[in-house]
Structure 1
Amino acid sequence: MTSTVPAPMARTADGSALQAVLLDMDGTLVDTEGFWWDAEVEVFAALGHPLDESWRDVVVGGPMTRSAGYLIQATGAEITLAELTVLLNESFVDRISRGVPLMPGAERLLAELARHNVPTALVSASHREIIDRVLRSLGPERFALSIAGDEVGRTKPHPDPYLLAAKGLGAHPSRCAVIEDTATGVAAAEAAGCRVVAVPSVTGILPAPGRTVVGSLEDVDLTFLRGLIAGMN
């Protein structure tokens, strides 16, 4: 099991090279974004409040507190944020306990990064309990560390999780390649000064300076990631 930020690791010798790869979890490595929505629909149905499908794009990919708070306000449900967070986590954990499907290309990419000893971190807005369960499917040995949303003062879209991950790996943020699937995660990585590869899962993401958009992880390999960093020079 990995944990948040061990002692910083040494940087690579070449200061202009790729120093680390930081990966989001839900919707990027594992196909669980739909699980979250299903959990929200189930919990609110039990509270007597059906959810509008149009709200899905608002809540997917964001931190738990933001999504839960939005749904409480939108539905008028009589439940506290703390109570709702517990119910949503329980419903989601129940779903992932039955198995977590990996996104296309995820297994190959993680294996390649591990084979070449590229420092890698899992950076998620999900809580520690959920990350540790998903890591059983991803392989905890493939990540030098992981950052959970309930272990940082400010999670995505703030840069803190990615800055913490880069520091823990002894890497400079500008020499880190981040792989994300949502606008919230992309905003966090860019605010941290990282080079971003966006693999949209639910809503579209447009290319921008310092950001490359691809169709799936099948389009990403180590040569591709190294090229992104080298192209900055």
Structure 2
Amino acid sequence: MTSTVPASLPRTAEGSALQAVLLDMDGTLVDSEGIWWDAEVEVFKELGHVLDEGWREIVVGGPMTRSAGFLIEATGAEVTLDALVLLLNAAFENRIGQGVPLMPGAARLLAELTAHQVPTALVSASHRSIIDKVLLSLGPEHFALTVAGDEVARTKPHPDPYLIAARGLGAQPDRCAVVEDTATGVAAAEAAGCRVVAVPSIAPIEPAPGRHVVASLEEVDLALLRALPANER
């Protein structure tokens, strides 16, 4: 799937401040953070190294190059960054060949956004090949736009992916609601000026102005997203 945008998009009900919803993928909509870690453990085992469980919080949620670079430095593995990225993506793709489980509440939230014709984008640091496979589990019909990490010059924690998504949906960033599970993703969304719901997956995330923290995606619905306060940058 390409990150194309329809010529015209429906908008939320007149009078609503919310113009679009931008959703992270790994750890937010799909239960894949553990799968990524298992893939990393597998690849480094083949390279002759054992990963420290404490590194999970460091590599979660970031761009692949950052995570891979950290693991090379931490282990001293003799592999290039480009080669490792290919190995990790391949190992992950092999593990999701039969689909990937959705996080509790994800299917219901996507159905609600679609039913109310809320313009929605999938914004991920994962590569396009990964996103297209995961979309088979999520349902591509729920997204007007998808943005992949290897399609932007700077991915999360930079604001670029969310600015691109908002622009693609014809929305103002400060009138977009973002749902994220990591500090890296939250930083990207807030730097873009978006309103944020954080659903921590691996590491805790503290509440802050313009940010609402919940324990599960089951607590997130359209009413909550519409009620989010503006990001006070």
Q: Could you say whether these structures have the same fold, taking a TM-score greater than 0.5 normalized by the shorter chain as the test?
A: yes
Matched residues in 1 for 2:6 and 2:49: separation?
43
Contact 1:8 1:170 in 2 (8 A): no
Cα RMSD for the two superposed structures: 1.9
The aligned residue for residue 53 of structure 2 is 53
Matched residues in 2 for 1:98 and 1:158: separation?
32
Residue 183 of structure 1 deviates from its aligned partner by: 0.2
The aligned residue for residue 183 of structure 1 is 183
| Change over 3 Å in CA distance of 1:5–1:158 after alignment to 2 | farther
| Change over 3 Å in CA distance of 1:230–1:49 after alignment to 2 | closer
The aligned residue for residue 32 of structure 1 is 32
Residue 3 of structure 1 deviates from its aligned partner by: 1.6
The aligned residue for residue 164 of structure 2 is 164
Contact 1:11 1:169 in 2 (8 A): no
Matched residues in 2 for 1:96 and 1:58: separation?
23
The aligned residue for residue 141 of structure 2 is 141
Matched residues in 2 for 1:50 and 1:7: separation?
49
Residue 99 of structure 1 deviates from its aligned partner by: 2.1
Spell out structure 1 runs of 4+ moving beyond 4 A.
4-16, 229-232
SS in 1 for 2:122: strand
Letter in 1 for 2:170: G
Which piece of structure 1 moves more, 16-25 or 115-124?
Answer: 16-25
The aligned residue for residue 174 of structure 2 is 174
- Does residue 105 (structure 1) correspond to residue 105 (structure 2)? The answer is yes
Contact 1:18 1:230 in 2 (8 A): no
SS in 2 for 1:146: strand
The aligned residue for residue 20 of structure 2 is 20
Work out the percentage of aligned pairs sharing the same amino acid.
Answer: 77
SS in 1 for 2:98: coil
Relative contact order, higher structure (CA 8 A, sep 6+):
1
Contact 1:8 1:168 in 2 (8 A): no
Letter in 2 for 1:86: L
Matched ranges for 1:68-83 at <5 A: 68-83=68-83
Residue 231 of structure 1 deviates from its aligned partner by: 10
Q: Structure 1: where are the runs of 5+ without partners?
A: none
Give deviations 1:126-154, integer Å, cap 9, x for gaps: 00000000000100011000000000000
Contact 2:44 2:51 in 1 (8 A): yes
The aligned residue for residue 217 of structure 2 is 217
Residue 224 of structure 1 deviates from its aligned partner by: 1.1
Q: Structure 2: where are the runs of 5+ without partners?
A: none
Residue 98 of structure 1 deviates from its aligned partner by: 2.5
Matched residues in 2 for 1:68 and 1:34: separation?
16
Letter in 2 for 1:82: D
Matched residues in 2 for 1:6 and 1:179: separation?
23
| Change over 3 Å in CA distance of 1:13–1:31 after alignment to 2 | closer
Matched residues in 1 for 2:230 and 2:210: separation?
12
Contact 1:18 1:175 in 2 (8 A): yes
- Does residue 117 (structure 1) correspond to residue 117 (structure 2)? The answer is yes
Q: TM-score, normalised by structure 2?
A: 0.95
